[in-house]
Chain A
């Protein structure tokens, strides 16, 4: 970076700021405050762009000036990933929030990145449809943010992850290119599947400006049940047996913690006749364990896990293990947590994905995460630390990215050669 650029990056008061204002208007450019900090790094400017081409143009100018850009959707998951190495500009998609086309008869929707999940779902529901996904904080979380963070909940076991629901995307690249891939039809193999590449990329390759999704009908009826088991082995046995059965459940999740025996929630959707038959099968199946009809609170279990009493003494991680390793993993968590004297609570889906909350002293949390990551990685799993106390000494959020890391860096180099977007926040320092 030459001296002039450096000056611009630090001050941002000059011609560049004037150019930004010319693009989005004075009312959409403001100085950043402490509340805009990402991972403890405070940017200088916040810009809210209103169109895709505004995003692309601001990105192009920032890239040329050597500024680091933090894409911002609803701001709900900005703590995910590592702290950025640099942060000059927050580029918000909040105003880019139009639902462009709900082609309900074709079961697809085209939507801009800044639209919240809740608003999208409400619109889709007018025609009895949904995006079959249950991400965290739908009232605030945006399409672009949820895609970038690859957030999914319990519904994933039936409907797949975002990668299975997204069928098209437009992204703005740091050089100002607006590129579309995929399309508006569910079945399409023309060209590379870049919608999948940007899903879960944490905004490090480009800024998603719009996405196209395949949709599912809203269920006619639903019924959910809870099954209490004595210990983790029993809970796993139940989960694997359900997975291996002919039951057509929509989700299956199990709660584990240091102060209660495991409970599994199972949800069914379908016709009244179908639900009655499935309930009977389930009761047969689970015996002698008790099957209780449960409320819809099981839906919000994940958000509860994400609402700890004391965030400054809490770590929350996403874990991924093989479904048949869940009991073993919970034993491991218990063992490590006991050793470090931390409290723990976990919500694990039938897919082997789960969420783990640890509460305790900062040093103990760090040691526990470290130890558990080592164990999980040795059994082909992973642990991604999504929340940790600010005062916790640096801890890589991601863990081992495997032997494809050099290739991932090459992909980054092709699309964002100057590391303009979210520098340092992704795996392996990307």
Chain B
């Protein structure tokens, strides 16, 4: 970037919105996945859509890549800067622009913090449903990029379910609108494609969200099982009984220990802990809670507790939400993995993980969104012990392969980013990825918006797509095409 371009960019955002000194840039060289670090050339903090457009137009003119960044809490390197690129931080665009209760819509800027949306609407008894564990610091813009989930998405859906419309600056600086306040706007569902595209299709500058009325009551049950197998069987029975809980979470013994050490959630010490939350009208929830209780008991639960107050409920959740960070209490270093399996594959996959863990001499703690099959194995290691880091990385990769083999996914909510690009080629066949990249070419033909992420091999947009060639495993009859 020439001095002149530098000055032009600074003129757009002003001195306070322009960061270029190496010591300040360090803050932006990675996101929540600190393993990858790249120093950006500059960080810009625009405070309006017009400023974002102006910056992106210059990037487009100069063929300079850019990476949009929210709060930087992502766990896949999605906000990792790219070589010779700039970072556009949306942190200063943090206003809630409109709250419309009769229509249950909220319009926000991308830098608004997830929990602040709920904070703003809770006096009227509404909430914003997607609740990633980082919700007190992560931004709506980041949630849009990653299609964030959370413990309650089993019942309430993901970010994509709750985004009705978007204002987006395309990678050439054009401003466009996808969806809107009303449903089913004529045309392709570009909002559906944009949410979860990990910043590769442009920058969202305004987001229309749906808010939800709080249910009449919420009940949280904690059940202690001898092992995760019994806990898993109870989950299957709950689903088979035709219930759709707001959340079902499972923790194994190692995670329980870590959570206890960190936040004293008063969890029972057991092999498999189940947390089941039901919400809705009181009479309905109580009838169902009785059944959940019976199901847990008949599957060998030794102890069952129902949180008696909001404070108790909050404590139960605090333990679960702190589980990742709590690993620091029992291990100097750890890798957070994020795979998905069909829920019924749980016993098989968990025992495989246990076998691999023993083989590698690396401990694995398991935290699991049991209702939707999202598995978060935490691979624990000590960097100071020679060879452990490598062993932990290898084990983490093997776990992902287990998920793919079980018919699952390499990521349920953390995203592909930089971290899982290679695994994409294991989950998808070449034509699948090529088709996604063709969509990318429609949005960003010059590949300026967070390039080098998501896809294992970049493809030039002028390239003619080749004829369809089946994936090797598919031809061999090993894998179905998913």
Contact = CB atoms under 8 A, between A and B. Distances in A.
A419 interface: no
Contact of B236 (A105, A176, A186, A427): A105
Interface in B147-201: 147, 149, 153-154, 157-158, 160-161, 170, 175-178, 180-190, 192-193, 195-197
A380 interface: yes
Contact of A414 (B149, B242, B441): B441
A179 B434 contact: yes
B432 A56 contact: no
B192 A163 contact: yes
Contact of A322 (B182, B239, B439, B441): B182
Contact of B189 (A108, A181, A197, A353): A197
A248 B215 contact: yes
Contacts of B454: 191
Interface string B428-451: 110111111011111100000000
A232 B403 CA distance: 53
Contact of A184 (B104, B177, B407): B407
Tell me what chain A mostly uses at the interface: helix, strand, loop, or mixed: mixed
A150 B189 CA distance: 10
Nearest to A410: B442
Interface residues on B, range: 35 or more
Contacts of A408: 187-188, 190
Interface string B212-229: 011110000000000000
B438 A415 contact: yes
Contacts of A196: 160, 189, 192-193
Contacts of A190: 409-411, 416, 420, 424, 427-428
Given A181-B432, A271-B287, A188 B409 contact: yes
Interface stretch (A16-24, A42-50, A89-97, A274-282): A274-282
A381 B286 CA distance: 40
A161 interface: yes
Given A180-B482, A187-B149, A194-B435, A405 B243 contact: no
Contact of B182 (A271, A352, A405): A352
A193 interface: yes
Interface centre among B154, B243, B343 (most CB of A within 10 A): B343
Contact of B103 (A184, A322, A402, A415): A322
B81 interface: no
20 contacts: A161-B183, A164-B157, A177-B434, A178-B431, A179-B436, A183-B408, A183-B427, A189-B415, A190-B409, A191-B427, A191-B432, A191-B454, A192-B439, A197-B189, A246-B213, A247-B281, A248-B281, A270-B280, A274-B283, A402-B176
Given A193-B193, A194-B193, 11 more contacts: A106-B373, A163-B160, A175-B467, A191-B416, A271-B284, A273-B284, A273-B287, A318-B184, A398-B187, A401-B187, A404-B178
